[in-house]
Amino acid sequence: MKKRIRVFGRKILSLFLVFLITFSSIFSFPIVAFADNVYVGRVTANDVFFRSTPTTKPENGVSNVITSLDEGDVVTVLSIEKVGGAKGDCSSGWYSIQYKDKSGYICSTYISVDGYDIYDRPWTSPKKAIIGGAKFIGKSYISRGQFTSYLKKYNVNPDGDFEVYNHLYMSNLAAPSSEAKTSYTAYQKNGLLDLPLVFNIPIYKKMEDSYDRPGGNLTKIEKQSEVKDQAFEDLLDKQEFPESYKEALRALHEIHPNWTFVSMYTDLTFSKAVNAFQIVGAIQGGEKYYELEKGKPVQAGNDKGWYVPNKETTAYYLDPRNFLTEQYILQFESLENSEVYTESVVQSILKGTFMEGISILDNQSYASIFVEAGKSANVSSVYLASLARQESGVNGSGATTGNEFEYEDVTYSGLFNFFNIGASSGASNPLKAGLVYASGGSCTKCDNNTQYTTPIPSETPGENTNPSTPATPEEPKAENLKTLIEEGGYQVSGEYVHGFKVGTSVEKVEKNLANGVTVKTDNDIIGTGDKITYNGETYLVVVYGDLTGDGKINSADLLKMRKYLLGDSNLSGAYKESAYLTDDSKINSADLLKMRQYLLGDSKISQ
């Protein structure tokens, strides 16, 4: 059954959405989701259970817990009308919600409903996409410590809200330099280079004298060894700029004496930073820039034409000293808005592009839309225009037309995404995935088996798929543990057993296997490293993606894999086996990307 999503006005109530989805799934009619009648909710406590039915009570002895959520997790509230609720069983009533690709319930006590989508989705016109996207960039990055184009790509701010190396806006290594060059053109044409600009420049530990790009550097760095302005030199010394930075900064000071340079000591070793960003980076341009495996470029995610960069290329783009020129230094300028970013300034960036004139849907010039977006989100409108030009191209893209498209058996129409927000490189079609994000609706990743009413059928072989009929394990037909495990619906491979749905209770596994089979563990849910034993035989449990052994897949596992790839941590036995997410012969950046996509809800990890 294919489902269709078209975006309409706000006249239809959320309750009708829930009814329509339920009715459609029963009678196999196309689903029409009203994406702007859902709400954004935030979890307000840790370890809050997300359940398949609105009750804390097990059904026929089987827990209805899908997973647990933590404070700050964002969910889609399908209706602000609460259901159920009784003393001792969520007396405040339950919200019907969607989290990633699952529908279910959470006790309303632990959900804060913010109202309609905080980024004004669905983005059904260019103006909505530009202003909503600006809010996303401002709220998620600039106000949280990633306040330059460089930091949005290379998060190395030790004082930011997010752990360094994490929370990256894009994978493209060259994005900051490309954005900076586009902005430079507008600054130069409008006399903005004469303003007293301030640049925040990261500094790393243990840097070599230089790092060159394999295909040739983008520009020649003008250097000045002679000290001509002692007051400026004193400022550099106070900022503790290394000599290798000073030479380029002196040359820039000669041209722009009113510019200020602020050092940002990252306390990070440069080689380790290169390793971290190479793993999650992407680049285009030819094999000289690419990481090769058996003589072939390693593709970065599912986005064709993008490849994992080699260390030399990564080091070049990461080294701030390579961009201390007029053309490229703007990647270190603060991205907060300024009154000097007028429509005429923005227009100089948009000239010659599809955004040069007006947005017909909005009956407003693109230049004025970007200025309005910059003011509303406190984000540089010059930067926003530069980013849109880079992401959408001179002639526009499929993300700027509003045309109908199909993605994973769902048909969408009337959506725009000028900054490609949500266009994950791991998606089967990144551009379309970004438009699905732009829909902001409850049905953002559906397939033919999606169940919109509860309880949700299990996806694990061997588990009960008919919620109305409790599973009754058959009497084991053999005394061999391997046979018992396989008859229970799980898989044995060497000394390991896998095939467990994430969050499966130990009690359920033991009941499913029966016949005296026991699980040795310290947890209530099955996890990597647990032992399944019977008659002296033992197999080790592997839950793919669970590298820490707690039965969950979360940021701790992502950190564990990253440290392993950086050589800062070791994995062995079942824990190493659990890290093979894409290939059973090696653990590499593809596995790290797979886990990141899983945590973002863009991919599944097969068990």
124 CB-near residues (< 8 Å, 6+ apart): 7, 402, 414, 415, 416
Evaluate if residue 36 carries a pLDDT over 50: no
Q: How far apart are CA 461 and CA 463, in angstroms?
A: 6
Residues 96 and 152 placed together within one structural domain of the fold:
no
In this structure, is residue 408 part of a structural domain? no
In this structure, is residue 383 part of a structural domain? no
Residues 315 and 185 placed together within one structural domain of the fold:
yes
Supply φ then ψ for residue 566, to 5 degrees.
-85, -5
In this structure, is residue 348 part of a structural domain? no
pLDDT: which is higher, 70 or 395? 395
pLDDT: which is higher, 78 or 204? 204
Residue 605, token pair as written in the block:
């990890």
Lowest-pLDDT choice from 77-81, 219-223, 232-236, 374-378: 77-81
CA distance from start to end of the chain: 26
pLDDT: which is higher, 11 or 551? 551
Residue 78's CATH number: 2.30.30.40
In this structure, is residue 470 part of a structural domain? yes
Residue 138, token pair as written in the block:
């401002």
Residues 64 and 178 placed together within one structural domain of the fold:
no
Residue 92: pLDDT band (50, 70, 90) is confident
Share of the chain above pLDDT 70, in %: 85
Residue 27: pLDDT band (50, 70, 90) is very low
Element containing residue 592 per DSSP (H, E): helix 589-600
As a whole number, mean pLDDT of residues 458-467 equals 26
Contact status, residue 307 vs residue 313, Cβ threshold 8 Å: no
Contact status, residue 500 vs residue 484, Cβ threshold 8 Å: no
In this structure, is residue 163 part of a structural domain? yes
Residues 104 and 183 placed together within one structural domain of the fold:
no
Evaluate if residue 464 carries a pLDDT over 80: no
> What is the predicted pLDDT for the residue at 35?
36
In this structure, is residue 136 part of a structural domain? no
Q: What is the 3-state secondary structure (H, E, C) of 224-237?
A: CCCCCCHHHHHHHH
Exposure letters 155-183 (e unless 16+ CB within 10 A, then b): bbbeebeeebbebbbbbbbbbbbbbbbbb
Evaluate if residue 21 carries a pLDDT over 70: no
Residue 12, token pair as written in the block:
């239809």
Q: How far apart are CA 388 and CA 385, in angstroms?
A: 5
Residues 105 and 198 placed together within one structural domain of the fold:
no
> What is the predicted pLDDT for the residue at 492?
87
> What is the predicted pLDDT for the residue at 57?
84
As a whole number, mean pLDDT of residues 216-238 equals 94
Supply φ then ψ for residue 266, to 5 degrees.
-85, -25
Task: Give the residue from 312, 334, 356 where a domain finishes.
Answer: 334
Strand, helix or coil for residue 85: coil
Average pLDDT across the chain, whole number: 81
Contact status, residue 81 vs residue 93, Cβ threshold 8 Å: no
Owning domain of residue 528: 458-607
> What is the predicted pLDDT for the residue at 479?
59
Residues 607 and 546 placed together within one structural domain of the fold:
yes
In this structure, is residue 8 part of a structural domain? yes
> What is the predicted pLDDT for the residue at 14?
34
Element containing residue 318 per DSSP (H, E): helix 311-318
Residues 502 and 553 placed together within one structural domain of the fold:
yes
377 CB-near residues (< 8 Å, 6+ apart): 131, 134, 135, 137, 138, 139, 337
Residues 491 and 600 placed together within one structural domain of the fold:
yes
> What is the predicted pLDDT for the residue at 314?
97
Residues 110 and 152 placed together within one structural domain of the fold:
no
Q: What angle is formed at CA 472 by the lines to CA 466 and CA 476, rounded to 5 degrees?
A: 130
Share of the chain above pLDDT 90, in %: 43
Q: How far apart are CA 374 and CA 183, in angstroms?
A: 15
Question: How many structural domains is the chain composed of?
Answer: 3
Evaluate if residue 262 carries a pLDDT over 60: yes
Evaluate if residue 29 carries a pLDDT over 50: no
Q: At what angle do helices 270-280 and 311-318 cross, to 10 degrees?
A: 110
The DSSP string of 237-284 is: HHTT--HHHHHHHHHHHHH-TT-EEEEEEEEEEHHHHHHHHHHH-BB-
456 CB-near residues (< 8 Å, 6+ apart): 52, 66, 102, 103, 104
> What is the predicted pLDDT for the residue at 113?
72
Q: How far apart are CA 554 and CA 46, in angstroms?
A: 13
**Pairing verdict, β 537-541 and 496-498:** parallel
Nearest to 505 by CA among 574, 461, 551: 551
Q: How far apart are CA 357 and CA 368, in angstroms?
A: 10
Task: Give the residue from 115, 137, 157 where a domain finishes.
Answer: 115
Residue 184 burial (C-beta neighbours within 10 Å; 0-12, 13-18, 19+) = buried
pTM over 0.85: no
> What is the predicted pLDDT for the residue at 25?
31
Residues 89 and 160 placed together within one structural domain of the fold:
no
pLDDT tens for each residue of 197-213: 999 999 999 999 999 99
- Measured CA to CA in angstroms, residue 292 lies from 155, 276, 282, 300, 584 at distances of 26, 17, 13, 12, 19
pLDDT tens for each residue of 94-153: 999 888 778 899 998 888 775 456 688 889 899 999 999 999 999 888 988 999 999 999
Supply φ then ψ for residue 523, to 5 degrees.
-115, 165
Residues 69 and 218 placed together within one structural domain of the fold:
no
Tokens 């900054």 correspond to 419
Contact status, residue 425 vs residue 594, Cβ threshold 8 Å: no
Task: Give the residue from 334, 349, 380 where a domain finishes.
Answer: 334
Strand, helix or coil for residue 415: coil
Contact status, residue 56 vs residue 109, Cβ threshold 8 Å: no
Evaluate if residue 24 carries a pLDDT over 60: no
In this structure, is residue 382 part of a structural domain? no
pLDDT tens for each residue of 349-366: 999 999 999 999 999 999
The DSSP string of 198-250 is: EEEEEEEES--S----TT--SSPPP---S---HHHHHHHHHTT--HHHHHHHH
Provide the 8-state DSSP code for 586. -
Residues 91 and 158 placed together within one structural domain of the fold:
no
pLDDT tens for each residue of 477-514: 345 788 888 777 788 888 899 988 888 888 888 877 87
Strand ranges (E), 315-432: 358-359, 364-365, 405-407, 410-413
Residue 513's CATH number: 1.10.1330.10
> What is the predicted pLDDT for the residue at 344?
93
